[in-house]
Amino acid sequence: MLAALIRKELLALLRDPHGLAALFVMPAAFIVIMSLALQDTYRPATRQLAYAVASADSGEPAQTLLARWRATHGEPVALPADPREALTSGRLGYVLSVTPDFSASVSQLTLPPGVKARLETDPGLAHALFRSLEAELAAAVGELRADAVQERFTGLVTPGANAIARLVGAERASAGARPTAVQQNVPAWLVFGMFFVVTAIASLFVQETRDGTLARLLTLGVPRRVQVLAKALPYLGVNAIQAALMLTVGVWLMPLLGGDRLQLAGIHWPALLLVLAATSGAAIGFALLVACLVRTHAQAAALGASCNLLMAAIGGIMVPVFVMPPAMQAAATWSPMNWALDGFLQVLLRDGDLTAVLPAVARLGAFALVMWLAALLLFRHRTRQA
């Protein structure tokens, strides 16, 4: 009986190739678009910014500063007649200005008043890029000042002796690859795609209610729980195919398009599969509940899509949680999509094993259980009314 019902559901799926394709194409498209669009947010590309230099100081410290800046950021473009207009129009990323007394100022033992090196940037420049440039300039000027003080007291300077970078180190605690836009967006939109099955399940449920299929099955003695289970099992397979496709996009397609590669080497595969199973169960349970609530195709499309978008917006799918204000970060912990995303990130970014993903899996499992039970109760109530 169950096998026959599953076959019926699969045939219904195959009769709607456009809807089925949307379940795979939509999240894949989001992965590609969002990963490429946000690539520089995760990896500031300061060298790619067009910049100009405004300097009236021919002293050695000023020339050294500009030479070091060119070595890191490439050659500057010619200074426009109206630098501010070039910045506001986006033709220039920034202008590096050096005052005429810069060389004399960095050699003094006491700090002189006023700014001697300034960055004026495009007003639309990303905050991460702005702070990165600011920190680079501060470090470069600091090294020059240390060189000047050393020369004043010792009479010589060893090249690179005062390089601040030699005193500073930074590395991520994870032994795996560092986070990239791809590693954020592949699991994020995979989660969204899994929950997107709500539209397909709800629409099919409405259609079978209208044409009397559900009533006929009850008349034939098919238990309600078997009907609900038969509707869910095919979508476990759909979610599995989604997962394989999205991971393939991250590993193979993104590098071909100029993005970063999703690193899967060395991850804990049992933990990843457990998170996938828990996410699929939660997504299908939620879809079944929505399907038992709605009565028209319009309601199915509106309620399913609205709930998905809200959970995605709150849960860190559309906007990463780490850029949210504290209040929104707290709200994100209430979204099932955030639980799923956190489970994936534990595996893909933090080398998590089964123990590490258990909190996320437990929340998803509890959510799935509540959704499935609520859907079964609603289905019983609805079919009894019919």
Residues 21, 193: contact at Cβ < 8 Å? no
Quote the CA–CA distance of 160 and 167 in Å, as a whole number.
12
- The 10s digit of each residue's pLDDT in 362-374 is 999 999 999 999 9
Quote the CA–CA distance of 116 and 101 in Å, as a whole number.
7
Q: What type of residue is 240?
A: A
Residues 225, 269: contact at Cβ < 8 Å? no
| Mean pLDDT estimate for the chain | 82
Of the candidates 370, 183, 336, 201, which has an alpha carbon nearest to the alpha carbon of residue 272? 183
The percentage of the chain sitting over the pLDDT mark of 70, rounded to a whole number, equals 83
Task: At 170, list the tokens.
Answer: 């930074």
Residue 160: the pLDDT is 52
Residue 211: the pLDDT is 74
149 or 143, which is more confident? 143
Quote the CA–CA distance of 30 and 184 in Å, as a whole number.
12
Question: Which range (18-27, 128-137, 354-363) has the least confidence?
Answer: 18-27
Residue 36: the pLDDT is 81
Query: Which residue in this structure is represented by tokens 């850029």?
Result: 323
DSSP lists the bridge partners of residue 258 as none
Q: What type of residue is 369?
A: L
DSSP lists the bridge partners of residue 80 as none
Quote the CA–CA distance of 257 and 31 in Å, as a whole number.
12
Of the candidates 117, 122, 99, 160, which has an alpha carbon nearest to the alpha carbon of residue 46? 122
Task: Give the start-to-end residue ranges of the domains of the chain.
Answer: 2-41+180-385, 44-167
Q: How confident is the model at residue 151 (pLDDT cuts 50, 70, 90)?
A: low
Q: Does the pLDDT at position 142 exceed 70?
A: yes
Residue 311: the pLDDT is 92
Annotate 348-378 with b (16+ C-beta within 10 A) or e (fewer).
bbbbbeeebbbebbebbbebbeebbebbbeb
Other beta carbons within 10 angstroms of residue 141's beta carbon come to 18
Task: At 28, list the tokens.
Answer: 């894949």
In SS3 terms, the chain reads as CHHHHHHHHHHHHHCCHHHHHHHHHHHHHHHHHHHHHCHHHHCCCHHHCCEEEEECCCCHHHHHHHHHHHHHHCCCECCCCCHHHHHHCCCCCEEEEECCCHHHHHCCCCCCCCCCEEEEECCCCCHHHHHHHHHHHHHHHHHHHHHHHHHHHHCCCCCCCCCHHHHCCCCCCCCCCCCCHHHHHHHHHHHHHHHCHHHHHHHHHHHHHHCCHHHHHHHCCCCHHHHHHHHHHHHHHHHHHHHHHHHHHHHHHHHHCCCCCCCCCCCCHHHHHHHHHHHHHHHHHHHHHHHHHCCCHHHHHHHHHHHHHHHHHHCCCCCCHHHCCHHHHHHHCCCHHHHHHHHHHHHHCCCCCHHHHHHHHHHHHHHHHHHHHHHHHHHHHHHHHC
- The 10s digit of each residue's pLDDT in 195-236 is 988 888 888 878 877 777 776 776 777 777 777 788 888 888
Question: Which range (47-51, 288-292, 334-338) has the least confidence?
Answer: 47-51
With a threshold of 0.75, does the pTM exceed it? no
Average pLDDT for 18-29: 79
Quote the CA–CA distance of 57 and 356 in Å, as a whole number.
57
Residue 165: the pLDDT is 52
- The 10s digit of each residue's pLDDT in 35-79 is 887 776 665 555 568 899 998 888 888 898 899 898 888 899 999
Q: How confident is the model at residue 169 (pLDDT cuts 50, 70, 90)?
A: very low
- The 10s digit of each residue's pLDDT in 249-265 is 999 998 888 888 888 88
Residue 175: the pLDDT is 43
Task: At 132, list the tokens.
Answer: 């990165």
CATH numeric code, 44-167: 3.40.190
Residue 167: the pLDDT is 53
Q: Which long-range contacts (CB under 8 A, 24 or more apart) does 105-110 make?
A: 106/61, 106/141, 106/144, 106/145, 106/148, 107/61, 107/145, 107/148, 107/149, 107/152, 109/149, 109/152
Average pLDDT for 345-357: 89
Question: Which range (79-88, 215-224, 280-289) has the least confidence?
Answer: 215-224
Q: How far is CA 378 from CA 55, 79, 194, 290, in A?
A: 74, 70, 23, 10
